[in-house]
Amino acid sequence: MRFWSEIGFPGYVSFQWEHISFTSDGNVPDNFNRSPDWIIEILSLEQRPNQVLDNILYCLENSSRVGWFIDSDDLNILFLHLHSAG
pTM above 0.85? no
Residue 46, domain CATH: 3.90.1570.10
Rounded CA-CA distance 82/65 in Å is 7
85 domain residue, yes or no? no
Query: What pLDDT sits at residue 11?
Result: 80
Strand pairing class (66-71; 76-80): antiparallel
Residue 80, helix vs strand vs coil: strand
Is 57 within a domain? yes
Tens-digit pLDDT profile for residues 4-44: 555 555 588 888 989 888 889 999 887 777 888 999 998 88
- Whether 17 is covered by a domain: the verdict is yes
Q: Tell me which residue range forms the domain holding 50.
A: 2-80
Task: Report the number of distinct structural domains present in the chain.
Answer: 1
Q: In this structure, is residue 40 part of a structural domain? A: yes
Q: Tell which wins on pLDDT, 83 or 60.
A: 60
Is residue 2 very low, low, confident or very high in pLDDT (cuts 50, 70, 90)? very low
